Structure 1
Amino acid sequence: MDTILGPLYYAVSWIIVQFHAFYSLIFDRNSGWAWGLSIVSLVVLIRICLIPLFVKQIKATRNMQALQPKMKAIQERYKSDKQRQSEEMMKLYKETGTNPLSSCLPILAQSPFFISLYQVLNHIAQGKTVGFIDKSLLDSARQAHIFGAPLSVKFTDSAAKVESLGASLTDVRVVTVIMIILMSLSQFYTQRQLMTKNVDLTVKTPFMQQQKMLMYVFPIMFAVFGINFPVGVLVYWLTTNVWTLGQQMFVIRRNPTPGSLAFAQRQERLRAKGKLKEAPAEVEAKKAAEAARASRQQPKRQTKSKRQVGGTTQAAQPGKKTSLEKDQPGSGEGSGGDAKSDQAGGSSRGTKAGQRKGGPQQPKHPTKK
């Protein structure tokens, strides 16, 4: 391992030494601030260099999300022929220009630097010079403490080793546990933010289940392996987690995945600022929806008093025929007797209706003998 990553030991140690020389102008050269900020600056420098890979990761992740329905169809179609299934998958990747490993590029590119930093701090803990860290810098780094914990110690180190570096085992374990918890929480929130805000909710795919599983697996991995990391490595990993969280929040807000919750929120912000012009098709769809809504409006319901007035008016006109009565056979001039009887009956019904409504009674005319 030392032979393969030897050049990286020199690169990582040289970067730390340069930052340490700068921060020694502000803080004590043996302080944890000078060495801790040197590690933080190393993270920032590496992550800035990895921004192009992060952009590729975002594009690859979106392409994989878009391909999930087609991938699922291939799996269902060739579920009994694994070889044909793999061939069709590779064909699909080639046609769409998608690389499944692109989403892992930032992690893969960062891993050698992470391992190199781990080995550099491990050499410091053992009192060995490494790379550009000579004897004087080695003694300075061993004296550096962050909140009472030396940079080179781990949670699992013995009390004798911790005391030899001028610290107590309790302080070391409290600091390491707090940093491990912060690492796990930052990783969990980063993954949860990706799942709840930047995933197309209109498509349910196995990819979403995988992301949901990773949301719980990664924090557990940090908690398990974190107890074996030196404090300096915990500083490195916590810083890179916070950087990832902030970088992802920026990307999700400015360039969210279409169909996601973040995309809808961004559209609303642009619409409120007047920067989003609706497409003609959307405008026509809204007009059609409003017209359909207007046609479905129910007539206004009349009050009880209006209904009573309307009923009284109809009852007060007993001789008026409806259009249905006019069209019935036997009505009109050709059937005078029936018409007279209908008028008489209508008159009597109208009189009774008028009496029930409280209207004036019709005077009775005496018949002529």
Structure 2
Amino acid sequence: MWEVFKDWIFNAIEFFYNFCGDWGLAIIIVTIIFRVILAPLMHKQAKSNYQMQKIQPKIAAIQQKYADDQVRQSQEMQKLYAEAKFNPLAGCVPMLLQMPIFIALFQTLREMGSRPEVAGDFTFYNIVPNLTMTPADAFAGGFGTFVPYLVLMIIFAGATFLPMVLMQMKSENTQQKNQTLMMAGVMSIFMLWISWTSPAGVLLFWGTSSLIGIAQQQGSLAICRRADARAAEAEVIEVKPVEVNVTRKVKKPRPTKKR
């Protein structure tokens, strides 16, 4: 079943290659299609991350207050989640659902060069000479050959680092921000190491997918912030002083008594 799924993905890439005549562009088109299909799941994931960031200070306060009472801490956390209408699993489910698709795409692109039904060079408009070649192999061919692969490596790693940075831009928790940025830096170095032996087609797919994901994430965060702003405006009730129009009667002069 897994091999059949991978064949479907390859057939989709091959279809767009026959249409546009370039393997790199075909990979980008298929990546965009998959990202559009997964857009609702990505929005839920971004919304969950946004809600988690909002209640993070309260979570930290509960953990500190009930550090010696795990039962009470768990109860208070559940109460907080209920009040905030936050489900901790909401951000994990979309990720788990999309992982098989990305793994299948990754494996399909990695094995594309060995498919017997494919003929011709796996080029990307002469920008990347061979999408089946790894940066390690390209480096052996000289710096001029290696440059486009280096660019793909930087995009591949940078697109992993950037979403974490953008998520922490407005965070007031300095300690958490520093920890996240440090973790993002380590992950980017790890991604550079992975990309060194990955085919250029895989790097092109993952870089394109990550850049689209960043745009989707920022769009989802903007929607969440607008919704919060509207909710805050709705809660503000303007209390105006009651205006009472009182018309005083003109007092008539008292008649004077005649003496």
- TM-score normalised by L of structure 2: 0.72
**What amino acid is the match of 1:177?**
L
- The answer to whether structure 1 residue 245 and structure 2 residue 220 are counterparts is no
Which deviates more, 205-214 or 108-117? 205-214
- The answer to whether structure 1 residue 21 and structure 2 residue 15 are counterparts is no
Q: C-alpha root-mean-square deviation of aligned residues, in Å?
A: 3.7
- The answer to whether structure 1 residue 49 and structure 2 residue 46 are counterparts is no
- Name the structure 1 match of 2:123: 145
Aligned equivalents of 2:167 and 2:240: distance in 1? Answer: 32
Aligned equivalents of 1:180 and 1:109: distance in 2? Answer: 26
Residue 96 to residue 254, structure 1, CA distance change in 2 (3 Å): closer
- TM-score normalised by L of structure 1: 0.53
**What amino acid is the match of 2:54?**
A
- Name the structure 1 match of 2:168: 195
- Name the structure 2 match of 1:231: 200
Gaps of 5+ in 2: 242-259
**What amino acid is the match of 1:149?**
P
Secondary structure of the residue aligned to 2:132 is coil
Gaps of 5+ in 1: 28-33, 130-134, 163-167, 264-275, 285-369
Higher gyration radius (CA): 1
- Name the structure 1 match of 2:147: 174
How far off its partner does 1:48 sit?
A: 0.7
Contact 2:44 2:94 in 1 (8 A): no
Q: How does 1:1-369 map to 2 (within 5 A)?
A: 5-23=2-20, 27=21, 34-82=22-70, 85-86=73-74, 89=77, 92-93=80-81, 96-125=84-113, 127=114, 129=115, 135-136=116-117, 138-140=118-120, 143-146=121-124, 147-157=127-137, 168=141, 170=143, 172-197=145-170, 199=171, 201=172, 204=173, 208-256=177-225, 281=238
Aligned equivalents of 2:128 and 2:33: distance in 1? Answer: 27
How far off its partner does 1:45 sit?
A: 0.9
Residue 77 to residue 280, structure 1, CA distance change in 2 (3 Å): closer
**What amino acid is the match of 1:98?**
F
**What amino acid is the match of 2:147?**
V
Contact 1:16 1:39 in 2 (8 A): yes
Aligned equivalents of 2:30 and 2:240: distance in 1? Answer: 52
- Name the structure 2 match of 1:293: none
Deviations 1:313-348 (A, max 9, x none): xxxxxxxxxxxxxxxxxxxxxxxxxxxxxxxxxxxx
Aligned equivalents of 1:139 and 1:22: distance in 2? Answer: 15
Aligned equivalents of 1:213 and 1:233: distance in 2? Answer: 26
Aligned equivalents of 1:15 and 1:155: distance in 2? Answer: 26
Contact 2:43 2:220 in 1 (8 A): no
Contact 1:184 1:222 in 2 (8 A): yes
Size of the alignment, in residue pairs?
237
Contact 1:149 1:171 in 2 (8 A): no
Secondary structure of the residue aligned to 1:156 is helix
How far off its partner does 1:241 sit?
A: 1.9
Larger relative contact order (CA 8 Å, sep ≥ 6): 2
Aligned equivalents of 1:148 and 1:65: distance in 2? Answer: 40
Residue 253 to residue 233, structure 1, CA distance change in 2 (3 Å): same
Percent of pairs with identical residues: 28
Aligned equivalents of 1:229 and 1:172: distance in 2? Answer: 16
Aligned equivalents of 1:158 and 1:242: distance in 2? Answer: 24
Residue 90 to residue 251, structure 1, CA distance change in 2 (3 Å): closer
